[in-house]
Amino acid sequence: MSSHVMGQSNGHLISADEIRVTAELARLLLPESDIPKLSSELSAILAYAESLQEVDVAGVPPMTHAVPTQCPLRGDVAEAHDSTESAMRNAPASEASFFAVPAVFGGGAADDSFDGEG
Amino acid sequence: MTAATEFEPVIGLEVHVQLATQSKAFCGARAEFGGPPNTHIDPYTLGLPGALPVLNHRAVEFALRMGLACGCDIALRSELSRKHYFYPDSPKGYQISQFDRPICENGHIEFVLGSERRQVRLLRIHIEEDAGKNLHLAGGRTSLIDFNRAGVPLIEVVSQPELRSAEEAGEYLRAIRQLVRFLGISDGNMEAGSLRCDANVSIRPRGSTQLGQRTELKNINSFKYVQKAIEHEILRQIDIVQSGGRVVMETRGWDAARGTSRSQRQKEHAHDYRYLPDPDLPPLIIDETWLASIAAALPKTPMQRRDHYLLRLGLTPYDASVLTAERELCDYFDQALVAAGVPTEDESLGDGLRSRAKLCANWLSSELLGLLNKDSREISASPVSAESLGELVRCVSDGIISGKQGKEVFFRMYESRQSPTEIIEQLGLRQLTDPTLITAACRKVVDDPAMQKQIEKYKQNPKLLGFFVGKALAETQGKAKPELVSAIMLSLLAEK
């Protein structure tokens, strides 16, 4: 979380390497030529947000939501839902009521899929 | 041999438990296992724009039951966070989980290893949602996705790295399965995937207190392989270290078919899941009155019931283990005890009642479970009800029938589903215990003029008592209780 203010090698709050890692995590294909521009633009945004650091928050509990409310709970009732057919209608590809995607195997960057199928 | 003992394994387990709710964690789609592909879905499960999550009250209750049973610190305010990753089984691009403020922290899991009682501390228990299932076709260029499982509520139980052997890890996992079944929050079925386990394994020189480089073992999806996979990983790491290598941080997948593991991903830079509090889900506040009512209604844990059997009933550790294997078995046994006349709530039991409890345990574990096992039946499908078994034990304990007759009655109970009393009446097995009737039978024998010569002989030789007892038993068609006949005959002969 604190990595936002890591790379300041060229005076930027966010380094070119951090742009590359972030793009990879977000599955964005960035042309190398865009990186310096993004680095300076994102750094400017962060610098603006950094002005918040001046506020003294000692003793103020962290706030994760703007509206002071609590998580509503619903009863454990299973309800009728869309048919499989209607769900498939928007899928780019399907096969025998499965969604079909390009082959994926373990080793993808995010394989915390608890997948027993292997 | 000595090489392996120079090292101490350090194991921590992350156990995912699917909660047995009707609907999913954050929407009303059915949470039931299986079903035709993509039938337990709705707009939220599919991650369609605009579909918002609303947390299932029962999922929270189940997580709290587990936390209370494990002695965790319950957070009255916890946070639901997004854990981001891209994989086709997660249509939203993130999983709702809990990050820095989980619902339960600390606590422990208790179990028995060999004859030793063990306690392994927990780091945390948190709520999250399950992912869908990928079906990879061999050699295919397509993967098929079924979202029936996506969004099913899970708790993840994270242990401290305190397990010291593959065997201990296996027992720990079995204890979790047993516990969630006793608590009624999951079926704990590993084969169906309602219980899944990842293991963090490292080794260090015995005596060292520093942690070695760990690897994460995934995909251990059956009890059979938990021990095997961890054992294999321990030996693999020892091998590397002994040949001068270095264990690298990585995720390894267990391949049950080959009995080996292979590297799935090297964790050079720890994965960045970009956790953030889910903007759609405000803080989860637990009402203290609700928490207290869950605590008050909390089912007894297997260890509590085990202690009850050991300490109060005086059963052996073996009996206690057999009985606490399943909650249904414990419940059955407790009902049988009541029917057998063993009070359930008294502080301490006398020897008579303890031996009656032991008799109940014997009938249940050797006779009934033996037959059920042979017929591949669960205790819930037993043709002999708990009440009937307890009644049978009472009949034997009270001397209404002998132990040997008890077995015959028991087999007939199993075949016919009749109560022991009915069968005892049908077979005319009831032992005659009325002292007046027995005295009359005995008197008939000793007053018989033809017996007087034998009585004179008896006065010289008391061993002849058996002869008179036999005669008196014959008078009752063999139904009188022999011990009673013997005692009464002895006193009548003394008067002669």
Contact B28 A78 (CB under 8 A): yes
B156, part of any domain: yes
pLDDT digits (tens, 9 = 90+) for B250-281: 889 888 888 888 888 665 445 688 899 999 99
Query: Which residues from chain A sit within 8 angstroms of residue B17, using beta carbons?
Result: none
The more confidently predicted of residues B191 and A100 is A100
Choose one of B244, B265, B290: the last residue of a domain.
B290
Query: Which residues from chain A sit within 8 angstroms of residue B76, using beta carbons?
Result: none
B295, part of any domain: no
CA distance B486 to B463: 12
- Number of domains into which chain B is organized: 3
* Cα–chain center distance at B189: 12
User: How close is the nearest chain A Cα to the Cα of B141, in Å?
Assistant: 5
Say what the pLDDT of residue B70 is.
Answer: 98
Backbone phi and psi for residue B400, each to the nearest 5 degrees, phi listed first: -65, -40
For residues B44 and B115, membership in a common domain is answered with yes
For residues B276 and B332, membership in a common domain is answered with no
Per-residue pLDDT 10s for chain B (496 aa) are: 455 678 999 999 999 999 999 999 999 999 999 899 999 999 999 999 999 999 999 999 999 999 999 999 999 999 999 999 888 999 999 999 999 999 999 999 999 998 899 999 999 999 999 999 998 877 778 899 999 999 999 999 999 999 999 999 999 999 999 999 999 999 999 988 999 999 999 999 999 989 899 999 987 888 888 999 999 999 999 999 999 999 998 889 888 888 888 888 665 445 688 899 999 999 999 999 999 999 999 999 999 999 999 999 999 999 999 999 999 999 999 999 999 999 877 667 888 889 999 999 999 998 999 999 999 999 999 999 999 999 999 999 888 888 888 999 999 999 999 999 888 888 877 777 888 888 988 999 989 998 888 898 898 888 889 899 988 888 887 778 888 888 999 888 888 7
User: How close is the nearest chain A Cα to the Cα of B176, in Å?
Assistant: 18
Say what the pLDDT of residue B405 is.
Answer: 86
Q: Which residues pair with B157 in a beta bridge?
A: B15, B125
Banded pLDDT at A21 (limits 50, 70, 90): confident
For residues B76 and B138, membership in a common domain is answered with yes
Task: Residue B171: give the domain boundaries.
Answer: 2-290
Banded pLDDT at A24 (limits 50, 70, 90): confident
For residues B189 and B223, membership in a common domain is answered with yes
Q: Are B66 and B125 in contact (CB under 8 A)?
A: yes
- Locate the chain B residue with the closest alpha carbon to A80: B29
Q: By the CB < 8 Å criterion, does A8 face chain B?
A: no
For residues B482 and B367, membership in a common domain is answered with no
Domain boundaries, chain A: 2-53
- Cβ count near B417 (within 10 Å): 12
Query: Which residues from chain B sit within 8 angstroms of residue A71, using beta carbons?
Result: 55, 80, 281-285
For residues B377 and B404, membership in a common domain is answered with yes
For residues B286 and B305, membership in a common domain is answered with no
CA distance B154 to B389: 39
- SS3 of B299, please? coil
- In this predicted complex, what is the ipTM? 0.79
CA distance B129 to B126: 10
Query: Which residues from chain A sit within 8 angstroms of residue B29, using beta carbons?
Result: 78-79, 81
Q: By the CB < 8 Å criterion, does A87 face chain B?
A: yes
For residues B310 and B284, membership in a common domain is answered with no
Choose one of B233, B262, B290: the last residue of a domain.
B290
Q: How far is CA B471 from CA B448, B455, B468, in A?
A: 11, 13, 5
For residues B162 and B106, membership in a common domain is answered with yes
B38, B58, B89 ranked by CB distance to A87: nearest: B38
Contact A111 B46 (CB under 8 A): no
CA distance B102 to B80: 8
For residues B422 and B442, membership in a common domain is answered with no
User: How close is the nearest chain B Cα to the Cα of A34, in Å?
Assistant: 23
Choose one of B427, B456, B477: the last residue of a domain.
B427
For residues B251 and B371, membership in a common domain is answered with no
Q: How far is CA B66 from CA B73, B176, B196, B272, in A?
A: 11, 10, 16, 29
Please give the order of strands across the beta sheet that includes A98-102.
Answer: A94-95, A98-102, B142-146, B133-136
For residues B50 and B164, membership in a common domain is answered with yes
Q: Which of B88, B146, B42 is nearest to A83 (CA)?
A: B42
- SS3 of A69, please? coil
The more confidently predicted of residues A2 and B414 is B414
Token pair of B328 as six digits: 């249904």
